[in-house]
A and B are shown apart, each in its own frame.
Chain A
Amino acid sequence: MSQIPHFISTEPFDAEATTAAGSVVSERHAKASQARLIWWRFLRHKVAVVSLAFLAVSYAAILFVEFLAPYELNSRHTDFIFAPPQPVHLFHDGSFVGPFVYPLNYTLDMETLRRTYDEDRTQPLPIRFFCKSEPYSFWGLFSAETHLVCPPEGGTLFLLGTDRLGRDMLSRIVYGARISLTIGLVGVTLSFIIGITIGGLAGYFGGWVDATVQRVTEVLRSIPELPLWLALSAALPLTWSPLLVYFGITLILALLDWPGLARAVRSKLFALREEDFVAAAEMLGASPRRIIFRHLLPNFMSHLIASASLSIPTMILAETALSFLGLGLRPPITSWGVLLSEAQNIEAVALYPWLLLPMLPVVLVVLAFSFVGDGLRDAVDPYQH
């Protein structure tokens, strides 16, 4: 066994250096607000940061879907039914042309009734950017016809292929994002308001209010979720406009999502209000309002944020599941679930696999939300080091 070198510093020990005033880093920490501390801790979670950036871009994009999508939502191309994704090329005959596509030649094999599309390799058609193409009505406010990418003059641009009616899949996925992403946010906001209010009331007042709320949440939670969603969404009147159906579905999802949250809020409030620091605050004459918002809420904020960010993907998935089963949103509203329900047949799997592409954004968004939720939970937890 070798001798471990033994070392003792002869420097005098400066106790101050380990506290706030002593080091630059500690000083910044000591003076930073709670929010800033959380943000710093969040930045340490690299995957969460990337996910957050992805979500930010996605949510920013749904503001401009009309501009981003190469085609309008309902534009059909009877000559290009079930066209596979069209590859984008950069080089033609060995020389650089920039992003372009070749025109598609459609042939129908009368023997097998398969539609085949061949690229006509003689004629590069450059893709246009910031260009005028199909007119659209931006958020129903004003008409415009500028798109980020447009199909080349006289050509087509089906980057993710087309469906059975010849509609561009990419455009439909982009339009679908507007519905699928917002349904989560709106739903979670609603269920949060309901959950915190009801849970807060139960936890703060206790007694019969608490007992009632508890029983109601128990009943609600004991009902199997999917059948209940199905029943409620089947009850939505068929003559409602698609927009109303959208809000109806959101409301259904929100109304069934709050009990878990209400319960958590209530039990946390119960536990914390008996804590010493609450008693101390009361001794010092703090008002109940200050106690709740300054002392109690930050203590279970981590839980709230985590469950919020984890609820959003649940809602997105719930919408997708409902629409997939044909009971959620209905065409002409296009959501990812609607797109997937249209791919619900053996042909899609065997012959037209690009129809299953809407799965990809669902998976990505749900994963991103989970990572962000994870990062946030770690960041806001005051006991996490």
Chain B
Amino acid sequence: MPHGQAVRAQRRGASCFGAGSFLAVLGLAIAGFLCALPAPAKAQSAAEPKSLAAAVAKGELPPLAERLPKVPRVLPVDSACSAEDLGGTLNMLTGSAKDTRLMPVFGYARLVGYDTSYRIVPDILESYQIEDGRIFTFRLRPGMKWSDGAPFTSEDFRYFWEDMAKDPKIAKFGVPPELLADGEEPVVTFPDEYTVKYAWGRANPGFLASLAAATPFDIYRPSHYLKKYNPNYTDPKKVEAKVEKSGQRNWVALHFKKDRAQRNDNPDMPTLQPWMLSGELGSERLIFTRNPYFFRVDEEGRQLPYVDEVALTISNPGLIPAKVANGESDLQAAYLSFPNYPFLKRGEKRSNYQLRRWESGRGAHVALYPNLNAKDPVWRKLMQTADFRRALSLAINRKDINQAIFYGLATPGGNTVLPGSAFFDETLRSMWSTYEPERANQMLDELGLKRDEPDGLRHLPDGREMRIVVETAGESREQSDVLQLVRDDWRRIGIDLLIRESQREIFRNRIKAGSTLISVWAGIDNGLPNADTDPKELVPSTAEQLEWPGYGMWVETHGTGGEPLGDSPELAPLKRLIDLRQAWKATLDETEKARIWREALKIFADEVYTIGIVSGVDQLVVVKDKLENVPEKGVYNYDPGAFFGMYHPDTFYFACPAVDTAEKRP
């Protein structure tokens, strides 16, 4: 399908999802073409959002038709309320001032994004085209603007590519890995103002997913804004003065500081998100106001978001459930955990909210991560022994934990994909995760871990008693409770478990340094993968991985950092996993990709690299009665999903008198 034709088709408002099936076809010139937009018809006639009408009337802001791109993204929603009744402030609670970073996740404006069936569809892009899985052509929306009114064009992509990714001062470690296909850089061209093309010699299958991620890899920047801090574009003396004033070391540091879109801590930085940070940082209440140039509209052509303002109130994480039960949040999922259920349920009527249970997209709700890169040589050898990890897993009475902590509503089992995924296999979930303490004891005996008396502690080969310190990030009471129960179970196999509650950054650093023996965290992030999902979570791929930070870094840095794998037979399955991911990247064949996924999952489960405990624990979502359009059922997951982002919070709105929701309720 030629590119231009597709755009015309889209302008006619035709839906062309059918073309997506071409993605599966190997070697065809056009691998896929997707467009998401039904008819953008009435954009010009729609009313101004109430809160902006005054500014438009005074001429401070151009009228709606000039603020929207020629072809805005139309979301299939239509609020029954009139423009007069839309607006308001959405109140939410959060635990830390750093949570400004939640708003770009919440807004979920991405070049391409997931829809609710986990297909990738164009969002900021008007359309895109992939050839051979290696040539990506992105078509921007003509007339689209940044939140300060500056046009959003291919120049913004060029700036990132030429002035950031290729600038050795800014990209100290070279071109970011997302832009490398097997170590190779793309040829990036900008045919016109609204077209960008990335071409590699071989396939780069993870590229689109990285653009659609909850923490996206952004390949564009507000160039008109950042150029002010770049001496290649602005008088170096002026830049120097700004550096001086800001107290940064040099212009690179200042540029970096001004360019933190994910962290979202710079109110001056233009954005494409529905809400933008406004006002003072460091206050207890962070306010995000609507982006007057936002590119999404509803079916009537009214500009989104419906809600004018989002207010994040910072409070003590421990108090958030209490405040939510008091009705202080309009929409809340963060900082609520499953044990809060009875308490929150009790407040439903009094505080006019509804407690909903969304599925979790995680492979396991709680999982233990033995650190294969532990510093202590004796422990490290044990952690790298599959039978040791298996024995630890077999000793855990998961049914009991499920009953005691999760009301029997969770599913006991290992850390693998969820039943919603095509790759789900019951045998993998129960592999090495049944309760067989006798067998675990026998396996430990065979490893030569002796104990003096039948009930005593086992000894390490060097004579020390086996005491494992399991570290938590100190954020979840559930994790500590689970650990308490695991401690009782492990005591029966002669291993003492000590719990150390830490703090997230320290927790991460200690794991990377190998000081931590076992850590506890949730299971794999994406429990609902399809063949096109990068199997990176099952394979050493980044230094952030809790089970093998050293090997992950080694892979991530192409062997320049981290820890090489070596030749020990214990690590052979790990090498196989790395090879599998390479094979996945190299192929465009869906059945082959699926086969790779299945094999990787099998190795991951059989080697028990992570000890999953329970899965399928629902996320609690509290929704005020007056807040409309929030789905009853959903999947609450970070990536893919961006928490609420996938469900487009910009389409949530407060009920107006015309639609009295209180009466609709049973």
Contacts and interface: CB of A to CB of B under 8 A. Distances in A.
B22 interface: no
* Chain A interface size range: 20 to 34
Given A165-B484, A165-B485, A238-B500, A347 B342 contact: yes
14 contacts: A78-B400, A78-B403, A108-B408, A112-B341, A112-B345, A112-B346, A113-B345, A165-B404, A330-B498, A331-B484, A332-B487, A344-B318, A346-B343, A351-B343
Contact of B488 (A74, A345, A350, A351): A74
A236 to B, nearest CB: 11
Interface in B291-319: 318-319
B467 A239 contact: yes
Contacts of A36: none
Contacts of B325: 346
Contact of B481 (A78, A165, A238, A351): A165
B558 interface: no
A166 B342 CA distance: 17
Contact of A351 (B342, B403, B499): B342
Interface string B450-493: 00000000000000000101000000010001001101100000
A164 B477 CA distance: 11
Given A78-B400, A81-B404, A326-B501, A346 B322 contact: yes
Given A113-B345, A350-B346, 14 more contacts: A78-B403, A108-B407, A108-B408, A112-B342, A164-B339, A165-B404, A165-B481, A165-B485, A238-B469, A239-B467, A331-B499, A344-B318, A347-B339, A351-B342
Contacts of B498: 238-239, 330
B270 interface: no
B343 A347 contact: yes
B407 A113 contact: yes
A326 B480 CA distance: 12
A294 interface: no
| Consensus secondary structure, chain B interface | helix
A27 B325 CA distance: 72
A74 B343 CA distance: 27
Contact of A113 (B342, B403, B499): B342
Size bracket, chain B contacts: 20 to 34
A121 interface: no
A346 B319 contact: yes
A345 B477 contact: yes
Contacts of B133: none
B250 interface: no
A164 B343 contact: no
B321 interface: yes
Contacts of A351: 342-343, 346
A233 to B, nearest CB: 13
A76 interface: yes
B322 to A, nearest CB: 4
Nearest to A239: B467
Contacts of A74: 488
A114 interface: yes
Interface in B400-446: 400, 403-405, 407-408
Contacts of A350: 343, 346
Interface string A35-61: 000000000000000000000000000
A239 B469 contact: yes
Contacts of B346: 112, 350-351
B340 interface: yes
B402 to A, nearest CB: 10
Most B CB atoms within 10 A — which of A81, A108, A345, A346?
A346
